[in-house]
Chains A and B, each alone.
Chain A
Amino acid sequence: MPADALPAADVVIIGFGWSGALIAEALSAAGLGVVVLERGPYRDTASDFPPGFAPDELRYAVRHDLVVPTAQNTITFRNRVGQTALPVRQWGSFLPASGAGGGGVHWNGQTWRFRPSDFVLRSHLANAHGHDVIPSDATIQDWGVSYAELEPFYDRFEYLAGISGRAGNLRGHRQEGGNPFEGPRQRDYPTPPMRMTLAPTRFAEAARALGYHPFPQPSANLSEPYTNSLGVVIGPCSYCGFCERFGCGNYSKASPQTVLMPALRRRPNVALRTGAEVLEIARTPDGRHARGVRYVDADGIERYQRAELVILAAYTFENVRLLLLSGIGQPYDPRDGSGVVGRNYAYQTTASVQLFFDETRFNPFIGAGALGMVVDDLNAEGRDHARLGFIGGAHLAAMQSGGRPIQSRPTRPGTPRWGGAWKHAVARDYLRNVRLGASGSSLSHRGAWLDLDPTYQDRHGRRLLRMTFDFHANDLRMIQHATDRLAEIGRAMGPAEMVVNQRHGPYSVVPYQSTHNVGGAVMGPDPTTSVVNPWLQSWDVANLFVVGASSFPQNPSYNPTGTVAALALHAANAILTRYLPAPGPLVPR
């Protein structure tokens, strides 16, 4: 079927999550004509998740209403070479979004900056501890961009979104009450931290008594109303407890809807087409230049959108898959380590501790996605990795994101799953339990990568992406150490009973862990180990930028959104200030 060609645009952006929306804002503000293609539906606060029906745990959290249906797009998975990868037919371990706003609609809102050393991980570890601390099969590398270069863009995102938090390091000066281990920031957060419920308060007291440095989680659930530089008003969080997996009904969680869309809607040079699923990035015959994209529109008609500049800003999986399906870049070959596309997939290594109290009511239904206190000491510099036996780290937290009862009603060990005894236990334990979490880093390594599945196809007959992944032994040692420290804090909080949920291999796609899937189209200064250069420009196609967590060469312990946003704004700035004046490779190959 011949594609129906549309008038050419200056820029076509694939995906309207945080990355796509931020780049659309920056480029359209500069006057470029921008077309955004989003595979999912249009979504708007008042019509799609108003307070009247947003708090529907079954619909959103259990049935995954804001997540892309696997019938439309999924991946196949195996733990290791030698297994047959099988399709993820029902989402579990992670929940890729779909629709206007992307994951920015249903995220928790935990907003971090990565530390300066994260961006130079390999050279930092080698300099500080020697090459020997790095496992031989680890493919961790430096990012090619420094924290100092990204700082203005972290700042820009935090001030667009109104992030609530307290600085720990203002231009090199340590600030009481913030994260003492963060990199220097030019100014404090735009809004103060959220108010704390009992569980994070007790956690912070216990952690402080053990010598740690707890601080409030920087949050995109805003502590007070905020008007950003685009004139858009974001509301105050009502601590409703329906955040992750839900859209925010009262405009108080920063999302493309609440932060950017009101401004974009007014710009005649931005067009958002929803229900538009991109099939391929089309190139000139020599392959060096992208001409546009082929996509299927909401009516099932194949279209061709020409553009001078293509921004691939879909989810990690679809970024990598579209590169592979379009034949852009050399696919990674784990046998000899050659090739780059699909290389360095990484995840998040998580664990938890569950506390049960006899009397104290913690009222877990009060909550917000980023409501909590955090300890970042285990990520801190200067740890003796040779003695500890692992590299990387974790942050520990008491996050109170909402005790929604279908999914969150833990009972004490030994309780049956049903019957009268279960009923008595859940009635006793629901209000009186606290969950503590450890979120740990994830090494990229030779045994973890993404490629095209040889067997399974999507509804358009295109091959699914295949994930080969298991936790690296280093990461399991790391998270065990972190979970032990977390349990010490938990014990100090004085529970009647405590359950330590250590993370064990093999990795499973069934229980939810994290939607922090990263890598596969990683950034770096060297085209033999990266897909995009430090400005997220494709090494192979100069007018293609690949934006998102797919560019992370490995994953620190922190939630990715702050860094995804900063990288997107950094790339947009490079397009405007470097690429447009002289279109072509920004770094010679």
Chain B
Amino acid sequence: MLGLLAALVAAASDETRAETPAERGRYLATVGDCVACHTAPGGTPFAGGRAIETPFGPIIAPNLTPDRASGLGAWSDADFLRALRRGLRPDGARLYPACPYVYFSAVRDEDLLAIRAFLATLTPVANPARGAGFGFPFNLRPLMVFWDALYFRPAPFVADPGRSMAWNRGAYLVEGLGHCGACHGAKGALGADPEPGVLGGGRVRGWFAPDLGGDPRAGLGGWSLDDIERYLATGSNGRALAAGPMAEVVENSTARLTMADLRAIALYLKQDAPLSQPAAAPSPVPNGRIGAAIYADACAACHRANGEGVPGLFPRLAGSSAVQSARPDTLITVVLHGGRAAATGAAPTGPAMPALGWRLDDASVAAVLTYIRSAWGNEAAPVSSEAVRRGR
């Protein structure tokens, strides 16, 4: 019974009717955002070559096109499943866990093989993977056996019969192919992804992927289902604009999903029990005059004096979960280095925050971020100059 439900959940996409496996696979590869890692900047989609930053150094994502020598052309279906489910290459070598096979162990064989069928339709491109740029000892793939022993527990998706089909579909997407926790969960010291179901926020490439739990300030507690759907479908809603790594996720993946799947994801993320514990509100920080002065002079022209922003253009700061995140990494990165919001078909503007690192020193950035985290009813911990210095 549970197996049947799981199958129904996996098939709940409304794009499944009368589709070939390859067509279904194209959609599922979009859910998994495979193209994001497996495409070099300006390169052929899925031909690999992009350097993925990890705590240990860059990993070069391999070529997924059906080229026999450098791609998947010589792989069997079983090879493909083994790689995605167990993290093992055909020659038995272990994959680096930058590829979120931890999540893919939750994905049904039919779905993985559909992706395989889609990849087989691509034009073969010769592009040998250049391997990883890790320093010793992480340049030794056999050591990954040790890593897997510590962290990797293959776990097929189990549907919750007490929940709606849509909720289960959402869980399947979020915890499986969508691998949301790869960014939104806190990574362990050795780069391990967190336990599935824990989406309390995590750091990625200098950004903080926010808490997706029910915290009313830092999480999705204040977001409606519509807010989540609009954000994923267009990259912006009245509350937030997707920027940084999430902008890529929206552009490559979520903006291309069906509304039914986005609703399912929203339902799962907004489940009654918060996925994370609401953080205790920090003691209010007095509105520093310096931070307020910098805000008025350098920020208010776009974000407005009252922090309300302009929908679809300048993110709202008052009440924003990104602003009140436990960790200020995203704020520091955006202020120092700037950032571009997602541009999608429905919301093509793609406005950008200019870099201000040349204009504001560490203490000034810290002061203005501390200000916006405590102004207009916001409550979040102060930001230190030291944290800003590390972000430079």
Asked if A and B bind, the verdict is yes
Interface residues, chain A, with chain B CB atoms under 8 Å away: 44-47, 50-52, 225, 227, 230-233, 235-236, 238, 240, 249-251, 262-263, 265-266
Partner of A231, one of B313, B314, B346, B353: B346
Q: Give the interface of B toward A (CB within 8 A).
A: 298, 301-302, 310-314, 338, 340, 343, 345-354, 356, 358-359
- Please measure, in the bound complex, the distance between the C-alpha atom of A413 and the C-alpha atom of B349, giving whole angstroms: 49
Whether the Cβ atoms of A232 and B314 lie closer than 8 Å is no
Q: 5 closest Cβ contacts across the A-B interface?
A: A50-B354, A46-B352, A233-B312, A262-B348, A233-B349
Q: Is the beta-carbon distance between A52 and B302 smaller than 8 angstroms?
A: no
Q: A263's contact among B298, B348, B351, B358, by CB below 8 Å, is which? A: B348
**Contact between A231 and B356 (Cβ–Cβ < 8 Å)?**
no
29 sampled A-B residue pairs with Cβ under 8 A: A44-B352, A45-B352, A46-B352, A47-B354, A52-B356, A52-B358, A52-B359, A225-B312, A225-B313, A230-B348, A231-B345, A231-B346, A231-B349, A232-B348, A233-B313, A233-B347, A233-B349, A233-B351, A235-B302, A235-B314, A238-B301, A240-B301, A249-B354, A250-B302, A250-B314, A251-B349, A262-B349, A262-B350, A265-B350
Across the interface, A249 reaches (CB within 8 A) one of B301, B313, B346, namely B301
CB-CB < 8 A to B301: which residues of A? 51, 238, 240, 249-250
In angstroms, Cα B355 to Cα A51, docked, is 11
B312's closest neighbor in chain A, by CB?
A233
Separation in Å of the B308 CB from the closest CB of chain A?
11
A50 to B340 alpha-carbon distance, docked (Å)? 13
Contact indicator B343/A225 (Cβ below 8 Å): no
A236 touches B310 (CB 8 A): yes
Q: Report the bound CA distance from A225 to B312 in whole Å.
A: 9
Nearest-CB residue, chain A, relative to B298: A52
The answer to whether A231 and B310 touch across the interface, beta carbons within 8 angstroms, is no
Nearest neighbor of B346 in chain A, beta-carbon distance: A231
Residues from chain A with Cβ under 8 Å of B356 in the complex: 52
B354 A262 Cβ-Cβ under 8 A: no
Q: Which of A44, A225, A235 has the most CB of B within 10 A?
A: A235
With A and B bound together, what is the CA distance between A263 and B348 in angstroms? 6
B347 pairs with A251, CB closer than 8 A: no
Cβ-defined contact, B313 with A235, below 8 A:
yes
The answer on a CB contact under 8 Å between B340 and A46 is yes
Cβ 8 A contact of A46, one of B298, B338, B343: B338
CA distance A284 to B310 in the complex (A): 52
Give the shortest distance, in Å, between B346 (CB) and chain A (any CB). 6
| Alpha-carbon distance A251/B314, docked complex (angstroms) | 10
A contact residues around B340 at 8 Å (CB)? 46
Using known A-B contacts A225-B310, A250-B302, determine if residue A46 contacts B351 with beta carbons closer than 8 Å: yes
Do A251 and B313 touch (CB < 8 A)?
A: yes
Q: How far is the CB of A437 from chain B (nearest CB, A)?
A: 27
The reply to whether B351 and A266 form a contact with Cβ atoms under 8 Å apart is no
Give Cα A259–Cα B9 distance, bound, in whole angstroms. Answer: 42
Decide if A251 touches B351 in the complex (CB within 8 Å). Answer: yes
Which of A225, A231, A263 has most chain B Cβ within 10 Å? A231
With both beta carbons as reference points, the residue of chain B lying nearest to A46 in the complex is identified as: B352
Number of A-B contacts (CB under 8 A): 67
What CA separation (Å) do A587 and B6 show in the bound complex? 67
Q: Are B310 and A235 in contact (CB under 8 A)?
A: yes
> Which of chain B's residues have a CB closer than 8 A to the CB of A231?
345-349
Beyond A52-B354, A235-B313, 17 additional contacts (C-beta under 8 Å) are A46-B352, A46-B353, A47-B352, A52-B356, A52-B359, A232-B349, A233-B311, A233-B312, A233-B351, A235-B314, A238-B301, A251-B349, A262-B349, A265-B343, A265-B350, A266-B345, A266-B348
Chain B contacts for A46, CB-based, 8 A: 338, 340, 351-354
Question: What's the Cα separation between A249 and B303 when bound, in Å?
Answer: 13
Among residues of A, the one whose C-beta sits closest to the C-beta of B350 is A262
List of A residues within 8 angstroms of B302 by Cβ: 51, 235, 250
Q: How far is the CB of B348 from chain A (nearest CB, A)?
A: 4
Query: Bound complex: CA of A46 vs CA of B298, how far in Å?
Result: 14
Within 8 Å CB of A50, what residues of B? Answer: 354
Q: How far does the alpha carbon of A263 sit from the alpha carbon of B346 in the complex, in Å?
A: 10
Known: A51-B301, A51-B354, A250-B301. A265 touches B310 (CB 8 A): no
Distance of A195 from chain B, by nearest CB (Å): 15
Q: B298 to chain A: which residues have CB within 8 Å?
A: 51-52
- Can you name the residue of chain B whose Cβ is closest to the Cβ of A50? B354
Q: Give the distance in Å from the alpha carbon of A236 to the alpha carbon of B310 in the complex.
A: 8
- A238, B313: Cα distance in complex, Å: 14
Contacts of B314 in A (CB 8 A): 235, 250
The distance in angstroms between the C-alpha atoms of A47 and B338, with both chains bound, is: 9
Which of B338, B352, B354 is most buried by chain A, counting CB atoms within 10 A of its CB?
B354
Contact B352 A262 (CB under 8 A): no
Cβ distance A452 to chain B, nearest Cβ, rounded Å: 42
A266 touching B354 in the complex, CB below 8 Å, given contacts A236-B310, A238-B301: no
Q: Which of A45, A50, A233, A240 counts the most chain B CB atoms within 10 A? A: A233
Which residues of chain B are near A45, meaning CB under 8 Å?
351-352
The distance in angstroms between the C-alpha atoms of A265 and B314, with both chains bound, is 20
- A309 → chain B closest CB, angstroms: 26
CB distance from B289 to the nearest CB of A (A): 21
Q: How far is the CA of A262 from the CA of B351 in the complex (A)?
A: 9
Residues of B within 8 A of A266 (CB): 343, 345, 348
Q: Roughly how many angstroms separate A50 CA and B301 CA in the complex, as a whole number?
A: 11
- Contact A265/B348 with A227-B312, A235-B314, A250-B302 known, Cβ cut-off 8 Å: yes
Q: Which residues of B contact A225 (CB under 8 A)?
A: 310-313
Complex Cα gap A435–B136 (Å): 71
- Nearest CB on A from B45, distance (A): 13
- Closest CB in chain B relative to A450 CB, distance in Å: 39
Q: Which residues of chain A are within 8 angstroms of B345 by Cβ–Cβ distance?
A: 231, 266
Q: Residues of B contacting A227 with CB < 8 Å?
A: 312
Residues of A with C-beta under 8 A to B311: 225, 233
Residue of B nearest to A224 (CB): B310
Give complex CA distance A52, B356 in Å.
7
The CA of A238 and the CA of B303, in the complex, are separated in Å by 11
- Nearest Cβ in chain A — how far from B353, in angstroms? 7
Nearest CB of chain A from residue B364's CB, rounded to whole Å: 13
Q: Which residue of A lies closest to B314 (CB)?
A: A235
Residue numbers in A under 8 Å from B349 (CB-CB): 231-233, 251, 262
With CB as the reference atom, state the residue of chain B lying closest to A262.
B348
Give the nearest-CB partner of B352 in chain A: A46
Min CB distance A101 to B, Å, is: 15
Residues in A whose Cβ lies below 8 Å from that of B338: 46
Q: Which residue of A lies closest to B251 (CB)?
A: A266
Instruction: Tell me the complex Cα distance, A225–B304, Å.
Output: 13
A314 to chain B, nearest CB (A): 27
CA A236 – CA B303 in complex, angstroms?
11
A411 to chain B, nearest CB (A): 29
**In the complex, A52 Cα to B302 Cα: how many Å?**
11
Identify the interface centre among B298, B301, B358: most chain A CB within 10 Å of its CB: B301
Question: Considering the chains assembled together, what is the distance between the CA atoms of A64 and B302 in angstroms?
Answer: 25
Please measure, in the bound complex, the distance between the C-alpha atom of A236 and the C-alpha atom of B301, giving whole angstroms. Answer: 10
Chain A's nearest CB lies how many Å from the CB of B351?
6
- CB neighbours (8 Å) of A262 from chain B are 343, 348-350
| A264 to chain B: closest residue by CB | B348
With a CB–CB cut-off of 8 A, which chain A residues contact B343? 262, 265-266
Complex Cα–Cα for A262 and B234 (A): 14
The CA of A46 and the CA of B349, in the complex, are separated in Å by 12
- Kindly list chain B residues whose C-beta atoms are within 8 Å of the C-beta of A265: 343, 348, 350
Which chain B positions have C-beta within 8 A of A51? 298, 301-302, 354
A186 vs B326: C-alpha distance when bound (angstroms)? 53
**How distant is the Cα of A263 from the Cα of B350 in the complex, in angstroms?**
10
* Alpha-carbon distance A437/B359, docked complex (angstroms): 38
Contacts of B348 in A (CB 8 A): 230-232, 262-263, 265-266
